A = this chain, B = another copy of it.
Amino acid sequence: MNRRVLKEVLKEQGGRILLLVADGLGGVPHPEHDGKTALEAAHTPHLDELAGQSALGLTIPVARGITPGSGPAHLALFGYDPVEHEIGRGVLEAYGIGMELRPGDVAARGNFATLDAEGRVVDRRAGRISSEECKRLVDKLRAHIRRIEDVEILLEPGKEHRFVVVFRGEGLGANLPDTDPQKEGAFPLEPQGLDFKSRETARVVKAFLKKAREVLKDEPKANGILLRGFASLPKLESFEKRYRLRALALASYPMYRGVTRLLGMETPLSLKTFDDELAYLREHGAEYDFVYLHYKDPDKMGEDGNFPGKVQKIEELDARLPEILQLGFDVVAVTGDHPTPCLLKSHSWHLNPFLLHSRNGYAGMDGLPAFNERVCRQGSLGVFPSLEVMPLLLAAAGRLKKFGA
């Protein structure tokens, strides 16, 4: 939405909004499951009842034909054009595990890997070592490597073989390709800077990797490191400033927390499950104008091509809907960030089912019988970009004044 128009019409006050994002919710008809999508196949009495009293539609995640990663898909949902604001994976990952980044920091995702005697990659994930093992290795690295010349090295363990490294110093660029060769049997790629500042970074990264190999040389599995997704902090206006909404983000996966922290949303880092999220919502939801509630499971099942699993996870969400609706939000939207069809076993470019409910009926009530991709085609909202979801939510919450006289 045009920033000038938004600024002109935005009110200070209005209704409270809940945006429930069921990750990878949408799909395509599956030939082996009666030509239905998982959402169609699922028994979802509460979603269907809500659909009847809501406005339905379909959203284009980022652009026609474009399969988005979770980062771009969520940025669009929050009203930030993901083509304009590309956020590197390193930044998202660092934010997701709770690291505070500063402007100029260069963050990268790390994998512990197994290298052979000649230095070739034998296992890109070091046999998927445990998270505890990862923590031990990161502590070991920290003990030996605090800085390379003037550049501070910050390390934080993630899940299993994953960690994040942040290079903090003056004059660093983040324009470096991955060092991960993406296949076993190959040598890791040498760090390379693609511009002047990034060449400086590459020199530092090279020295870091050399030191790390020395520190790790006696490790049986994790004797090497691969780095991916070098990135610096993009400049993004905060969500609160843009929309005048005190915002809470409830997500139990690092990636999503990375996005919401980047936008300055209040993002508790202690939540581990959807149950944790709901508990937090019950306790603190009322303090916020806007709550983003993330439900990860349909995406995971879609990625696995597990149709019955996706159906079940959607049904489990449906079962929790009544307690969510009881919390008194004025506007509730239910949608996905992108589809993850079981047929494709991956994110996809198809359209997201979208439901918009307002207590006072102002959003519209289509009276349609169910909430799924097919029914949403008939909805009063038609097909529109995810980028336009926020203005719709604000409007439904009575937070936008008339434009012009």
Give CA–CA (A382, B63) in the complex, Å: 13
Residues of chain B with a CB closer than 8 A to A88's CB: 405
Given contacts A58-B382, A382-B351, contact A365 B35 (CB under 8 A): yes
Per-residue CB proximity of A59-98 to B under 8 Å, as 1/0? 0001111111111100000000011001111001000000
Is A29 interfacial (CB-CB < 8 Å)? yes
* Most chain B CB inside 10 Å of its own CB: which residue of A4, A349, A404: A404
Contact yes or no, A405 B70, CB < 8 A = yes
Interface residues of A in 362-378 (CB under 8 A from B): 362-367, 373-374, 377-378
- Which chain B residues border A151 with CB–CB below 8 Å? none
| A9 close to chain B: CB less than 8 A | yes
Q: A350-B364, A384-B383 are in contact. Are A405 and B63 (CB under 8 A)?
A: no
Can you tell how many copies of this chain the complex includes?
Answer: 2
Query: Secondary structure at chain A's binding surface: helix, strand, loop or mixed?
Result: loop
By a CB distance below 8 angstroms, the chain B residues around A402 are: 67-69, 346-347
- From 359 to 405 in chain A, residues with beta carbon under 8 angstroms from any chain B beta carbon are 360-367, 373-374, 377-384, 388, 390-396, 400-405
A89 x B391 contact (CB < 8 A): no
A359 to B182, CA, bound (A): 29
Q: Is A28 an interface residue (CB 8 A)?
A: yes
Is the Cβ of B364 less than 8 Å from the Cβ of A69? Answer: no
Residues of chain A in range 22-37 having any CB-CB distance to chain B below 8 Å: 28-31, 35
Give A390's nearest chain B residue, CB to CB: B65
Of the candidates B29, B72, B361, the one whose C-beta lies within 8 Å of that of A364 is: B29
User: Is A1 at the interface (CB under 8 A from chain B)?
Assistant: yes
Interface pair A68/B403, CB less than 8 Å apart:
yes
Check A28/B362 contact, CB under 8 A, given A83-B5, A349-B400.
Answer: yes
Query: A351: which of B65, B87, B255, B380 is its contact (CB, 8 Å)?
Result: B380
Decide yes or no whether A343 CB sits under 8 A from chain B. yes
Q: Which interface class (under 10, 10 to 19, 20 to 34, 35 or more) fits A?
A: 35 or more
User: What separation, in Å, do the CA atoms of A383 and B388 have in the docked complex?
Assistant: 14
Q: Tell me whether A229 is interfacial, beta carbon within 8 Å.
A: yes
User: Which of B71, B229, B395 is within 8 Å of A65, CB to CB?
Assistant: B395
Of residues A65, A88, A89, which shows the largest number of chain B Cβ atoms within 10 Å of its Cβ?
A65
Q: Taking the complex as formed, is A216 at the interface, i.e. its CB lies under 8 A from any CB of chain B?
A: no
Contact status B403-A69, CB under 8 Å: yes
A382-B58, A403-B68 known; A1 and B364 CB under 8 Å? no
Q: Given A362-B343, A391-B64, verify A405-B69 contact (CB < 8 Å).
A: yes
* Chain B CB within 8 A of A326 CB: no
The reply to whether A31 and B365 contact each other, CB–CB distance below 8 Å, is yes
Q: What are the 4 closest A-B residue pairs judged by CB atoms, nearest first?
A: A65-B391, A382-B383, A64-B388, A65-B395
Sample (19) of A-B pairs whose CB atoms are under 8 Å apart:
A5-B83, A28-B362, A29-B361, A29-B365, A63-B388, A64-B388, A64-B391, A65-B390, A65-B394, A66-B391, A66-B400, A68-B403, A69-B404, A89-B405, A229-B405, A341-B362, A343-B362, A377-B380, A383-B383
Q: Assuming A31-B365, A67-B395, A377-B382, what are 10 further A-B pairs, CB within 8 angstroms?
A: A5-B66, A58-B380, A58-B382, A65-B392, A65-B393, A69-B404, A71-B404, A348-B395, A349-B395, A349-B400
